[in-house]
A and B are shown apart, each in its own frame.
Chain A
């Protein structure tokens, strides 16, 4: 790896570690300072390595420079603030002794604690995701803007407000007490889940970026699983769900980046390694009495990795959707449930149920009805596919529907 690739690569893996450790050290009050010091470290690396060449151990070099920069900053700050804030906390016995601990254990602890601090219910979900991408995943502002299909200014403003809010709310950077872990995990898991979905379902960003979002979500979830106090059933269920979904990543888009429907995917492209990992974590999730939304979704995702079209498969999927909808309603789950119903109980029964849904602003609703009526009432089927065509949002969707219409 030459200089040009090495620094971006290290930025991706090390920036977040340095920020987490510094931020935990300084507290949320100085979150921007932590980010600035970390960015500065990489700037110095780019300048120095360009002239003197890459050091023998680049990571250790970065950590040393980060430590020195932090130490200098605190000393400067202490001098400056002496008159204004004599009781400023500068890390224990005196700023000279300031010790930034960049050991693997402390990096890991700091990142976990930052995860809980950032995914705090006091800030809106999209800010939690944005800040997670910045601080926990080391994404650039531009990348975050691309992921949210917006511009840098919006993201900068959003992150600024989020930091401000966390400062005002005085959120401690610490793991919640054992009794509170499950409740606080709910928000952390939701953020990870949305981060994954952002990568998996949004049609906007480039394929590479989307895959990266998914892998980052899986990495954060893996950190929770590897840490015994947060290794809870719902965490395993979410990781399982993401493994199952990610196993189809390469099969669900064609070379042009267009969506390939489940039925038409090349199953040889499914990643069997991720499928068995999903199975492993689903097994781990089954300990204890909790049945979360993620358990049910992981169960559905598991059945979707089975290639056979058996009665058992669709009956299981139907029952999982029945339960899922009672915990967490969503239009997509309602439509998928009705599709499973048609496979398990027959199309006539599914048509009756589908017509009750009245999801008249979703093109998937008309697509489902068109599908259910195919072979039963061609005129109705045609009419529903045409309605779906009017509501479709992307060219890829329109092409898929036109293909259906031609085959009628």
Chain B
């Protein structure tokens, strides 16, 4: 069984995108039910949500506050899942509740195993 990284991206910073506390509670439940379902299949390999603070370092010794990127969506969290195939990992990712939001995305990447047994 291989490990796959699910990288969740959504708009964390735009004011209009901020959920109300009640909405947030609903989102958290949906998220936990999703991760719990993966863990119940013994396919959870680790990972967590991230806080909205961050720093970005660049090659020319420039550091900026806050995430991030040239796009509106920033990384909101990541989990590692165990799956037999890319398709299986993608099926798990498809059920991720953040995909109910417009513009949000989940990126699925296979973790390359380094053989350090030799």
B-binding residues in A (CB < 8 A): 315, 318-319, 321-323, 325-326, 329, 333-334, 337-338, 341, 345, 353, 356-358
Partner pick for A321 among B29, B36, B42, B44, CB 8 A cutoff: B36
Q: In the complex, what's the smallest C-beta–C-beta distance from A334 to chain B, in angstroms?
A: 4
Q: Which residues on B sit within 8 Å (CB–CB) of A337?
A: 36, 40
Q: Would A318 and B42 count as touching, CB distance under 8 A?
A: no
Residues of B27-55 whose CB lies within 8 A of A: 29, 32-33, 35-37, 39-42, 44
What residue in chain B is nearest A319 (Cβ atoms)? B32
Q: Would B35 and A334 count as touching, CB distance under 8 A?
A: no
What residue in chain A is nearest B46 (Cβ atoms)? A326
How many pairs of residues, A versus B, come closer than 8 Å at their CB atoms? Answer: 45
Q: Would B29 and A319 count as touching, CB distance under 8 A?
A: yes
Partner pick for A322 among B35, B41, B42, CB 8 A cutoff: B35
Q: Would A325 and B33 count as touching, CB distance under 8 A?
A: no
What residue in chain B is nearest A333 (Cβ atoms)? B40
Q: How far is the CA of A325 from the CA of B40 in the complex (A)?
A: 6
Q: Would B33 and A329 count as touching, CB distance under 8 A?
A: no
Q: In the complex, what's the smallest C-beta–C-beta distance from B66 to chain A, in angstroms?
A: 26
What residue in chain A is nearest B48 (Cβ atoms)? A326
Q: Would A356 and B44 count as touching, CB distance under 8 A?
A: no
Q: Would B44 and A322 count as touching, CB distance under 8 A?
A: no
Partner pick for A334 among B29, B32, B42, CB 8 A cutoff: B42
Q: Which residues on B sit within 8 Å (CB–CB) of A321?
A: 36, 40
Q: How far is the CA of A326 from the CA of B39 in the complex (A)?
A: 6
Q: Would B41 and A334 count as touching, CB distance under 8 A?
A: yes
What is the number of residues of chain B that contact chain A, defined by CB distance less than 8 Å?
A: 11
Q: Which residues on B sit within 8 Å (CB–CB) of A341?
A: 33
Q: In the complex, what's the smallest C-beta–C-beta distance from B25 to chain A, in angstroms?
A: 11
Q: Which residues on B sit within 8 Å (CB–CB) of A325?
A: 36, 39-40, 44
Q: Would B44 and A345 count as touching, CB distance under 8 A?
A: no
Q: Would B41 and A318 count as touching, CB distance under 8 A?
A: no
Q: By CB atoms of chain B within 10 A, which of A315, A322, A358 has the most?
A: A322
- A-B contact list, 18 entries, CB within 8 Å: A315-B29, A318-B33, A318-B36, A319-B32, A321-B40, A322-B33, A322-B35, A322-B36, A325-B39, A325-B40, A329-B39, A329-B44, A334-B41, A334-B42, A337-B36, A356-B41, A357-B41, A358-B41
Q: In the complex, what's the smallest C-beta–C-beta distance from A270 to chain B, in angstroms?
A: 28
Q: Which residues on A sit within 8 Å (CB–CB) of B37?
A: 353, 356
Q: Would A357 and B40 count as touching, CB distance under 8 A?
A: yes
What residue in chain B is nearest A315 (Cβ atoms)? B29
Q: Which residues on A sit within 8 Å (CB–CB) of B35?
A: 322, 326
What residue in chain B is nearest A340 (Cβ atoms)? B36
Q: In the complex, what's the smallest C-beta–C-beta distance from A304 to chain B, in angstroms?
A: 18
Seed contacts A318-B33, A318-B36; 13 additional CB < 8 Å A-B pairs = A319-B32, A322-B33, A325-B39, A325-B40, A325-B44, A326-B39, A329-B42, A333-B40, A337-B40, A338-B40, A356-B37, A357-B41, A358-B41
Q: How far is the CA of A318 from the CA of B39 in the complex (A)?
A: 13
Q: In the complex, what's the smallest C-beta–C-beta distance from B35 to chain A, in angstroms?
A: 6
Q: In the complex, what's the smallest C-beta–C-beta distance from A317 to chain B, in angstroms?
A: 11
Q: Would B41 and A326 count as touching, CB distance under 8 A?
A: no
Q: Would A326 and B33 count as touching, CB distance under 8 A?
A: no
What residue in chain B is nearest A328 (Cβ atoms)? B39
What residue in chain A is nearest B79 (Cβ atoms)? A326
Q: In the complex, what's the smallest C-beta–C-beta distance from B99 to chain A, in angstroms?
A: 17
Q: Which 7 A-B pairs have the closest CB atoms?
A: A322-B36, A325-B39, A334-B40, A322-B32, A329-B42, A326-B39, A337-B40
What residue in chain B is nearest A326 (Cβ atoms)? B39
Q: By CB atoms of chain B within 10 A, which of A315, A325, A334 has the most?
A: A325
Q: How far is the CA of A341 from the CA of B42 in the complex (A)?
A: 17
